[in-house]
Structure 1
Amino acid sequence: MRDNVNGLISQKNIDALLITDPYNMRYISGFRGGEGVLYISQNQHVLITDSRYTEAAQKESDFTVTEENKEHSRTELLNRCISQDHARTLGYEDCSMLCSDFNKFENELHVEAWTPMGQSVNKLRQVKTPEELDYLRKAESIGDAAFSAMLGYIKEGQTELEVAARLEYEMKMNGAEGLSFDSIVASGIHSSMPHAVPSEKKLEYGDFLTMDFGCIYKGYCSDMTRTIVIGKANDKQKEIYDIVLCAHKESMAAVKPGMKGCEVDKIARDIITEAGYGDCFGHGLGHSVGLFIHEEPRFSMTDQTVMKANMIETIEPGIYIPGFGGVRIEDMILITEDGYEDLAHSPKELIEL
C-alpha cells in the first residue's frame, strides 16, 4: 500500500500528502477509528489522532502514531512533519475535505502550495486485495443468510418498518458489525421508488416487496436486492420481473476484464428498452463496493473505465412504474481474469410467499 501512495506522491510531484477521508485512512494505514489525519511523505508516515483512538491506532497501524491534544494541536503536529521534510507542496483530498477544514489548514500550515488530488487516492482502492475479497465475500454471505431467514418470517399485515427491523436483526445475528446503508424495504406502489424509505404501510396480498440491504464485515460492505411477491403474482408482475431478471443475467454473463463500464450497462439497458420499459430504468446498472458502499468505477451510461480483474461491481437493473410498483435484482460480483464470480447465492427466480 505504501509503495502505491509513495508512487502517487512522485507522480503528482508533491512533497507530502494529507489524508483525511476515513475510508482512505483505513485503507492506507489500517486505522479504523476514522478520526484524525495521515501525513505521508517519502520519509514519514504519521497518524495524528486524539486520546480516544491512540491505543487502537497503535494496534491497527504501523504508522507513527502521534496524539493531538490541548498542548499540541493537529496543525502544530503537522507543521513539525512539514518542517522535518522541508515540504513546500502538500496534496489534499479536495473531493472529500470540508471547506472549513481546508481553510484552517491553508491558514495554519507552513507550505507554499496545495495540490488537489481529485479521485487519485480513491482510485488506489479500485482493485481489491485477496484479504479484501475475503471480507467482501463474507459480507455478501451474511446478506444471503439474512434473506433466507426472511423468507420464513415475512407475511401479510407486517409493516415495511417491521420487515426492515427484522432484516437488520438477521444480518447482525449472522455476524454483521453494522449496516452498509439504511435498508430499503418498499412494498406495493412504494416499490416504484428505487430508494424508498420503510414506512408504516402494511404488506398486502399481491404486493411486490423490494428489499435492498447490506452489512459491514471487518469494515467492508455488502449490497444485495431481492424483489418478491406477497401471495401470487399477476401476469404484469411476472412480465416485469422476467425482463429485469433477463437484463440481470445477460449483463452479468458478459462481464470480463477489458470491458468499459458503459458497455456492461448498455447490455442491460438495451434489454429493458427493447421490452418497452426504457423510461422506467433511470439509474446506472451498478457500482463498485468496498470500504464504502458506493465506490468507483461504475456500470453506467457514462463510465468509460476499463474493468480489471479483482474489481467488485454490483449488477442491479430495475423497472419502476409509478402507481404500479417496481422490481430490482442485485448481486455483487467479482471480476476475474476471464469473467466473473457471483458473490451472492440467494435465488433470483421470482418467489411468491
Structure 2
Amino acid sequence: MLPPSVVKDRVGRTLDRMTSQNIDALILFSREDIRYLAAFDQACICLVIPKEGNPTALGLWLDIDEARRQSWVQDTRGFVPQYHLRIGGGEAQRRRLVEVLIEKGLSRGRIGIERGLLTLEMFDTLKSGLPEAVFVDATPVLKGLRIVKSKEEVELIRRASEIADCAMEAVSQITDVGRKESDLAAEAEYVIRRSGGEVLSKTLVGSGKRTLCAHPFPTEKTLEREDLVYIDIHPSYKGYHSDLCRTFLLGRDATKEKAHETLVAAQRATFEATAPGIDPEQIYKAGISSIESSIYGRNFLELYGHGTGLNVEEPPMITKGCREKIDENMTISFFQGALTMPGSYGLRIEDTGVVTKKGVKLFTRYPTDLLR
C-alpha cells in the first residue's frame, strides 16, 4: 500500500490538474495510471476519481479482497462474472459504471476519459446513460503526471536494472551456435522471475536477418555461426521497468565489429548531451551527428530514446521534434539505435539511466561488447 504522503502528493497533483482543466471526474482504465494513483495491481479494474468526494474502484469480485489489501481506496466494489469489468465488456458491465457516475452526482458533469483506451462500445454506453454529461480527453491531466520520478521510483527502476543485468549475463552464457532464439528468451525470463522481477513486456530475440525486425519475437530458429543476435529485455520490479538491449556476434567479422563500435559511440554521445533543462531533440541530434559523421551514416535507420517507468516506454520521448525539457529524476532508456545493412543484418543497443544534476547516471551496466 502506498504511504499516505505519496498518496497525498500524487492525488493532490491530479486534482489540481483536474481543476485547471475544469474536469469534474476521471475514468481510468490504464493499468499503469491506476497503479500509480491507487496502487492496484489487478487486471479488470476501473477507477473513478471525482474532483470532490471519494474515488471508487470497480473490479472482478474474486479479486476484490486482494485489491482492498493493496490500495488506500476504500470504496472498492466487486461484481459477479456478468459484471466482469473490462474495456468494452458486456452491456451490464458498462451500465454499472454509469450507475456509479450517477451516484456521484456526475449526470451533468464534465468527465475526463482516456481517449486512446476507451472502446466505442463503452463510449456509446456512457453517452446514452449520461446524455447531459460532457466527455473530454483526459490527456492534459494525465500527460506528464508520472514523467519525473520520486526517489522511491528511481530506486525501483535501479533494482529492475540490476535484474536486467543479471538476466543478460545469463543469456550471454548460452548464446551460442545451435541454440534456439526461444531458449534465450526463456533463460532471460526465468532469471528475471528468480530474481524477484516481473515480465510484463515480452522479451525480444532476433538472429541473422531477423535482427532487421523492429520487434523480433523469439522463434524456434537456431543460431548459426557468424550470426548477429539481438536481445532486448524489459524486466520490471514492483511494476517499474528497465530496458536493456545488446547485440552479440557469434564469430568474427571486421565489418560488423566496426559498425557496432559506431553505434556504441553514438550512444555515448547521447549520454554526454543529456542534462536537465535541454530539449530531447538536442540529445537526438547528438546521436545522429555521431552516426552520420561515420562511414555508416547511410545505414542509419532510427534513433529513439524514451522514458521508462510503469510503462516500458513512456514520456519523455527522445526523438526529432520533441521540445519538452529534460528534468532531473527523469528515467530514460538510451536508446533504440539501429544500424542496418539492407537484406543482411541490424545492430541495436539500449541502456537505462536517470537524469541527475551532473548528467546521466546509468543503471544498466552490462558490457556493450559485441563478441561472444
TM-score normalized by structure 2?
0.88
Offset at 1:252? 0.9
| AA partner of residue 237 (structure 1) | K
Counterpart selection for 1:277 from 286, 291, 296: 296
Matched, 1:30 2:39: yes
Q: What corresponds to 1:215 in structure 2? A: 235
User: Structure 1 residues 253 and 215 mapped into 2: Cα distance closer, same or farther (>3 Å)?
Assistant: same
- 1:54-65 matches, cutoff 5 A: 54-65=64-75
The DSSP-based 3-state class of the residue aligned with 2:221 is coil
Q: 8 Å contact 1:223–1:293 — kept in the other structure?
A: yes
Q: 8 Å contact 1:54–1:65 — kept in the other structure?
A: no
Q: What corresponds to 1:21 in structure 2? A: 30
Q: What corresponds to 2:244 in structure 1? A: 224
Q: What corresponds to 2:152 in structure 1? A: 131
Matched, 1:302 2:311: no
Q: Deviations over 1:314-343 (max 9, x none)?
A: 112221212321211110111112311101
| AA partner of residue 4 (structure 1) | R
Q: Deviations over 1:28-78 (max 9, x none)?
A: 111111423222223322222231222122122212323143699232122
Offset at 1:253? 1.8
- 1:9-88 matches, cutoff 5 A: 9-40=18-49, 41-69=51-79, 73-82=96-105, 88=109
| AA partner of residue 94 (structure 1) | R
Q: What corresponds to 1:6 in structure 2? A: 15
Q: What corresponds to 2:185 in structure 1? A: 164
| AA partner of residue 204 (structure 1) | E
1:46, 1:160 → 2: CA distance?
44
User: Structure 1 residues 284 and 103 mapped into 2: Cα distance closer, same or farther (>3 Å)?
Assistant: farther
1:208, 1:256 → 2: CA distance?
33
Counterpart selection for 1:206 from 226, 250, 274: 226
Q: Deviations over 1:262-321 (max 9, x none)?
A: 110111111112214344333342111111111111111121111111111111222121
Offset at 1:111? 4.4
Q: What corresponds to 1:248 in structure 2? A: 267
Offset at 1:207? 1.4
Q: What corresponds to 2:120 in structure 1? A: 99
1:258, 1:315 → 2: CA distance?
17
The DSSP-based 3-state class of the residue aligned with 2:145 is helix
Q: 8 Å contact 1:26–1:34 — kept in the other structure?
A: no
- How many residues align? The count is 348
Offset at 1:114? 1.6
| AA partner of residue 224 (structure 2) | E
1:119, 1:280 → 2: CA distance?
38
2:300, 2:307 → 1: CA distance?
19
Q: What corresponds to 1:337 in structure 2? A: 357
1:199, 1:36 → 2: CA distance?
33
Matched, 1:109 2:148: no
1:57, 1:8 → 2: CA distance?
26
Q: 8 Å contact 1:180–1:222 — kept in the other structure?
A: no
Q: Deviations over 1:178-229 (max 9, x none)?
A: x232221112222122322322322122211111111121111221001111
Offset at 1:127? 0.8
The DSSP-based 3-state class of the residue aligned with 1:53 is helix
Stretches of structure 1 lacking an aligned partner (at least 5 in a row): none
1:73, 1:193 → 2: CA distance?
43
1:74, 1:322 → 2: CA distance?
51
Question: How high is the sequence identity, in percent, across the aligned residues?
Answer: 25
2:29, 2:215 → 1: CA distance?
29
| Stretch of structure 1 that moved more, 299-308 or 159-168 | 159-168
Offset at 1:82? 2.5
2:212, 2:128 → 1: CA distance?
49
1:332, 1:307 → 2: CA distance?
15
Counterpart selection for 1:192 from 189, 203, 212: 212
| RMSD across aligned positions (CA) | 2.0
Counterpart selection for 1:314 from 327, 333, 347: 333
2:220, 2:57 → 1: CA distance?
46
Stretches of structure 2 lacking an aligned partner (at least 5 in a row): 1-9, 84-94
The DSSP-based 3-state class of the residue aligned with 1:194 is coil
TM-score normalized by structure 1?
0.92
Q: 8 Å contact 2:108–2:130 — kept in the other structure?
A: no
